[in-house]
Amino acid sequence: MNPARLWGGRIDMPGMTMAEKILARASRTASARPGQIVDGYVDLLYMHEMLALAIKPFEEIGVKKVWDPAKCVVTLDHWVPPPNEQIARMHQAIREFCWAQGIERFHDVGDHGIVHQLVVERGYVHPGELVIGCDSHTNMAGALGAFAAGIGATETAAVMATGKLWLKVPETLDVRVHGKLAKRTGAKDVILKVIQTTGDDGAAYKSVEFHGDTIKAFPMNERFTLSNMTTEMGAKAGMVPSDESTKNYLEAAGAKDAYRPLDSDSDAGYVKVYDIDVNGMGPQVACPNNPANVKPIEDVAGTKIDMAFLGSCTNARIEDLRAAAEILKGEKVAPHVRLIVTPASQAIYRQAVKEGLAQIFLEAGATFTSSTCGPCFGGHMGVLAPKEVCISSTNRNYPGRMGSPEAQVYLGSPYTVAASALHGVLTDPREA
């Protein structure tokens, strides 16, 4: 048997990509080919505040109970804790819905996290599964070898009612990344380079797979950052083959038995292959106002900033906080800069306190907040005024994303955010 056929697919059929294998399994068919429209049965449906908008359409459909509450996960992340009564009512409606429906994996304020981080760190996402989330960055869960795609509120209601959704089997782009990165350069810099190469719609309607020695060497936290920002390539899903790193991560998350190796077949068909050499590449930043407007940090170093934000599902894991703390330890952020550090989950928050990272940030003059999406989408806890300039470890910088449409947002790695906060200007972290 062809050793590349790790899971799914029969030896007598042409090879399949990861997306094709997973969608074939999820739609209970032997094969799924690009362009085919399938009904995919969902292994995991995860939701945040958008659930509040899905309750009414769910009730209108006329179904009384969620198809399978054990396959649902709900947390609160966009506005935590609620900044006003309107949001408090929204949270209240969600809480009551979860209780009434018997959704046991409801993670309320205090036990919460940004949903994409929460579902991976608790071991809810497994290789080979069809994972649907009501948020565009659901792609992140694809780093564990799942097909993970985002939907909106009405469709969330439909999945809650039926347990399935229609999907057009996507074509797949193969992104092969090779080489050893420079010091203080990581997955964020790589994915920005990839987005620059493909454009912010280069993977529209498509699945993206990552291969190559650089990817293989990335631990899971880095792989999450890669898959997360395939959303900014327009991708439907962004996947990393599951291997030993995946296995170790799942084991630590309490989902050891869910591990299975998964990769595309060696004869799978790709619509396009990118070979990207990152050998010796240093930090990259996406400049205003598009995630594909990417430059090496050297080109924009010296630009004065007002705010630095270390947060979001993209880059606020414990490893990201450690990276920033390495630069900020014993230092003070520039007097004119507000540094806001917001862990991606409460589990990370607790770990950061335990390791003394919180202390380092606080002594450096940062604001260290509980977990929320808040500033990333201009919601609360650090919104930008007109003309302000921000360096952010987040994923998007479209006009008005983080507050005023006249604010300027640069996207960079946790190292770049910390180094820039320290010096008050965009700074190459290799020189910090």
Partner 1 sequence: MTVQTMLTGRVWKFGDGISTDHIIAGRYLGSSDPQVLGEHAMENVDPQFAKKVKMGDIIVAATNFGCGSSREQAPIALRAAGISCVVASTFARIFYRNSINIGFPVIECPGLHEKVKEGDTIAVDLEAGHVVLPGGEKIPSQPLPPNILEILRAGGLVPKLKAELEATRV
Contacts with partner 1 by CB under 8 A lie at 37, 50, 52-53, 57, 60-63, 78-79, 84, 86-87, 90, 134-136, 138, 150-155, 157-158, 161-162, 166, 168, 200-201, 204-205, 234, 236, 290, 377-379, 383, 396, 398-401, 403, 405
CB nearer to partner 1: give 52 or 144.
Answer: 52
CB nearer to partner 1: give 270 or 398.
Answer: 398
Least distance CB 42 / partner 1 (angstroms) = 15
Least distance CB 405 / partner 1 (angstroms) = 4
| CB atoms near residue 78 (< 10 Å) | 20
Least distance CB 145 / partner 1 (angstroms) = 21
**Closest to 262 measured CA to CA, from 276, 272, 277, 247:** 247
- Cα 411 off chain centre by: 14
Cβ burial, residue 10 (10 Å; 0-12/13-18/19+): exposed
CA atoms within 13 A on the CB side of 23: 29
Least distance CB 85 / partner 1 (angstroms) = 10
Q: What is the 3-state secondary structure (H, E, C) of 292-352?
A: CCEEEHHHHCCCECCEEEECCCCCCCHHHHHHHHHHHCCCCCCCCCEEEECCCEHHHHHHH
Least distance CB 228 / partner 1 (angstroms) = 14
Q: Are 424 and 304 in contact (CB under 8 A)?
A: yes
Query: What is the spatial distance between Cα 416 and Cα 163, in angstroms, rounded to a whole number?
Result: 42
Q: Are 412 and 188 in contact (CB under 8 A)?
A: yes
**Closest to 179 measured CA to CA, from 276, 244, 274, 294:** 276
What is the per-residue DSSP string for 350-396?
Answer: HHHHHTTHHHHHHHTT-EE--S-SGGGGTSSSSPBPTT-EEEESSS-
Amino acid at 118: L
CB nearer to partner 1: give 265 or 388.
Answer: 388
Least distance CB 355 / partner 1 (angstroms) = 32
Amino acid at 56: K
CB nearer to partner 1: give 13 or 37.
Answer: 37
CB nearer to partner 1: give 86 or 335.
Answer: 86
CB nearer to partner 1: give 138 or 314.
Answer: 138
CB nearer to partner 1: give 221 or 395.
Answer: 395
Least distance CB 281 / partner 1 (angstroms) = 25
Query: What is the spatial distance between Cα 53 and Cα 127, in angstroms, rounded to a whole number?
Result: 29
Least distance CB 142 / partner 1 (angstroms) = 15
CB nearer to partner 1: give 63 or 182.
Answer: 63
